[in-house]
Chains A and B, each alone.
Chain A
Amino acid sequence: MTASTTEGRFRIGVDIGGTFTDGTLVDSATGEVTTSKVLSTPSQPAQGFISAVEKLLKINDSVTPGAVEHVVHATTVATNAIIEGKTAKTAFVTTEGFRDMLEIARQIRPSLYDLQFEKPAPLVPRQLCFEVPERLDAKGEVVTPLDEQALKNVVDQIAAADVEAVAVCLLHSYRNPDHEQRVRDAIIAKLPHVIISISSDVVPEFREYLRASTTVINSSVAPIVSTYLKSISEKLHAAGVTSELLVMQSSGGVYPAEAASENPVFMVESGPAAGAVAAASLGTALGHPNVISFDMGGTTAKASLIRNGKPNITKDYSVGGAAQSGTGAFGGASGYPIRTPVVDLVEIGAGGGSVAWVDSGGALRVGPHSAGADPGPVCYGLGGEQPTITDANLVLGRLDPNYFAGGEMSLNLEAATEAIRKQCAEPLGLTVEEAAHGIVEIANTAMVNALRLVSVQRGHDPRDFMLIGFGGAGPAHAVRLAEQAGIPRVLIPLGPGTASALGLLVTDVRMEGSATLIVRSDEIELSIIANEFDRLENAGLEAHKAAASASGAPEFERTIEMRYWGQSFELSVPAPENTNIDQAWMDELIESFHEAHEKAYGFRAIDEPVELVNLRLTTIGKITRPQMRKLDNVGTDASVASKGHRPVYFAENSGEKGTLQTPVFDRSQLPAGAVFTGPAIIEEPDCTTVIHPGWTVTVDAYGNLGVELNS
């Protein structure tokens, strides 16, 4: 099967975002990259998808559709369905006495002081929530047997309600799935065409509401996702592209479209994950396995942490929830929790369009409101009246009014200046530059906090990482963020505007399998662990077949989620190398858990029993990384790319504030090996990179900008 990867040379990645749909085509032999950007078509996203593909094939006409090895897709179609309340009509079946599980949810309010708050409306209306008499205890033993007759009546009611999907979550099914499986079979027998998800399949972990919520999301978006994926594969076939369609998961890795249609809950955060994966792969390729990914677009900025080439994964997440920080309490209550793995990224409302204002306490604030693309920043001249980050960058001279979007659009500097003067500078008794600079700095602060959330709060020192800045607005802020967070190295990749889409093409096929144990290390039979891992391995092999043509032979990753007996939050610990599971293996495992716990929380409780909660086995089908292409243009002298100088305002380095004559470079002309120092501006059609004083740029062999703090 590895042979197949060399057959076709071309891979296509398509990333559908809020505003734009990005396409990337890579020649895996030469590493040559072709990119395309088209407007997204939220009404029927498949349209935007295919036009991005067609545009790619048009730009690079040397490519025949048949030579496309595979297509990888990242989409927000599932998330949007949830946020816009367009999920499929779904029924919910649970244990007698708990019909209101979804209504009651976590009984908390999303915001503490808001008397007008609302709980998110359940994805399943109460009349479609059904109970079956049955009960297991916490050990998974049957307390009340499943009442088949009552089940039959419930199935009849479901049939009468004519739903598209059914979600089943019975108490303690994570310990014993038998009842859930029998409920599923009964429904299938009567309603063969309805999509059914049972919680013991989707996410076999304890805490009924979180598991139910995940299961409901899975089944209620499944009809939408499968229809969507079907339509794009049809369109691809029509375009002559017959290769494997893979979908990006929330946790990194890709999986086959079939799997995605069955378990879409694994791809709700498909889009954002791509960026993190891109950063991870780029960092690894350049010998920097530890990086912080910073992806800033028009409305939001996303940060995530990558260690040893892997993005951090979390399961403490809510779809449509407010940005989570600290305890995560509010985010949890404002959205729909899912317990499937998601790339641990913090997304905040700070983008080029974020609005600046002065509050009643006389503080300068930025965001979370965004002017978005319409009316947009004041300088767009599209009717925007509130100053935005983009306006501030323009006033500071960091953007060129005449080279925005590669010159396709010119910006109104005067309007931006006026807005900032009136609305920010004068109320605060500052000069326009100081105010504009303040706007950028405050936005940076919020972003620095986002960086901290993913690093410090997880027990990692940002100074040990390299910052990779991309997305439309990322390169303009990355260097300054690094400065504030104390990060000494920054990387601005080639084509930062479409880096996410590139990420889709450097992702392995990954399929998660897990088994619940919940047993103390001093009470477990070691054979059980071995058997469970074997079972998961076989399941993994089976699942991998669907993606066999697109990836290499399956490999496995084993981790164990552990905690001190009595805690409820697990730490994920890699299984010891030695595959022979004996006492020594267990001792090693426990020791690494103690270490992990001490690192995270500052103490180890050696006298406490340790509990093994879940076994996880990830089946990986490696995808050969495309070659990165070296620049033909080599030389140390940057001046060949010079576009002259312009005044740019800098004030960070605690010394002299003020305007510096700053050299401007055309990125496309920079030779590999060129070295120059800040201040400097580097322009390319879809974004601008700002190099602050005190930093030195080195263009690497592939055209990435390595930016380092002068020692």
Chain B
Amino acid sequence: MTTSAVDPIKFEVIRNALTQAAEEMAIALRRSAYSTNVKTRQDFSCAFFDKDLRSVAQAFTQPVHLGSFVRHVPIAVKRYGPENLGPGDMILSNDPYGGGVHLNDISLIGPVYYGDRLVGYTACLAHHVDVGGGAPASVGAFREVFQEGIIIPPIKFVNKGVLDDDLFRLVLSQIRSKRETSGDFRAQIASNRTGALRIIEIIDRYGIDEFEHYIDEIIEYTDRRTRVEVAKLPKGVFTAEGFVDNDGFTDEVVKLAVKITIDDDGVRFDTTGSDPQRRAPVNSTFAQTYSACAYALRALMDRDLPVNDGFYRYVHVEAPEGTVTNCVHPAPVVGGWETHVRLNDLIFEALSPAMPDAVCAGTKSMQCHAGFGGENHETGEYYCFLETLAGGYGGRSTSDGPDAVQSHGQNTENAPIEETESNYPVRITRYELVPDSEGPGEFRGGLGLRRDYMFPEEATFTILADRDKFGPRGLFDGEHGGKSVYAVIKDGNEEHLSSKTTVQLQPGEIISYRTSGGGGYGSPFKRDPQAIFEDVSQGKISHDRARERYGVEIDPETNQINEKATKELRSGC
């Protein structure tokens, strides 16, 4: 048969096989990984790129990698030179100024050869819990990228199937949690190998020509579907402005601006008007900004649209160099996620008038990094831990924002307390919702959550988050969600901390991390009293708050809604 024809069965089989290959890469990575952040929180992604470095199949757990990963891989390969890569080679890279994001996200990329013919690349990205630098877990308030950990330009980490010991040792020496990290690196190698094997199997079955032909088809397919989805979007220009509360060194808010232009050839995002980059943890690399836009667009489309090159070609991002949305060397980037995720929120805000039903009110919209580390007195080993906490989601046109969930590009699991405590010298003394933290609205925002960490030994703790000045905005007369609170508790006394800081803890001291609630959607007075009643009886909202913010009076004795009082309260305005 001629390869130009498309057999719908074969098409579907090959498409699924490719996705399956990516999925298996993910499984291999997760199963063989050491760090909680990878094996449990699943902070990684895997993908297959064709020989022209077009993304074909992806297995994500983390949408934040959606844009960043697919930008980084082609740039890294071109920088190293495809001609310098042979069978069994793999290059390592995390360079923020070579298409990367923050230093913790390290990509490993290997060419796939069928015989002596290059057929594509398997690549996986993992968020390594520590990559050295100024604070354990490599998160913190830094002023330059040099302070954030090891910067890895594309280097040949695996040579003809053999790990380069010199490079491995050199990378590892910069890293605090050496044992876990070396395990995660090996897992990445395993992942790429698995992917390559699967790809080769597919080619064995269909032959190279068919294989390449159907890759084109798969991309064209996504292109077709994306075009249809884009056509459904409201045409026009939509703008919004917002900010990150502070930059970690000054209280000056960091202004963000976005302008979205939607027409037939796709969606253009323009962040002109955002603040200049700072010597502070608030700078997004272009890849991070691109990723925010890609995610937002993807979120507005049909759930089962397979993402590949055919989708990305509709995402156009204009981010002026030297701004917090496209920082240039040597700006620090780890804080960029705060900017990135806030940008997500802004995009939805901008689109809300045009697609009120598709968007939600302000969410947590911050990464909420909690990183800590120190020397484990038992093992004498240096341990590091990183997690990002959930918060309240924004209310939607027909439903409340869920309590304590991840938002937007972020979808990492919470680390099980038992796992954390069995691996690290820390005790989680509280893990609960924060009552009254929701943003009131006809559909209220979700509640924020509280997680308290108690350290029996000396430790270093880093908070890299935001929202301690302003809660997530409400939408259509909905109210703001509750602000975050970060505090250190020393023998009972609580002392507030900034949203971007690193502190030294003495044995017994506690860090209390309380994330913001989601913004409300629609006027609170329109909220169904029954729903309030539920919230109050569940203790999520207090009687007083119900009365003052929602105009709903609930009698403490009878535990009944006082219809009369409620009516008065609500008609009162």
The answer to whether any beta carbons of A and B sit under 8 Å apart in the complex is: no
Residues of chain B whose beta carbon lies under 8 Å from any beta carbon of chain A: none
- Residues of A bordering B, CB below 8 Å: none
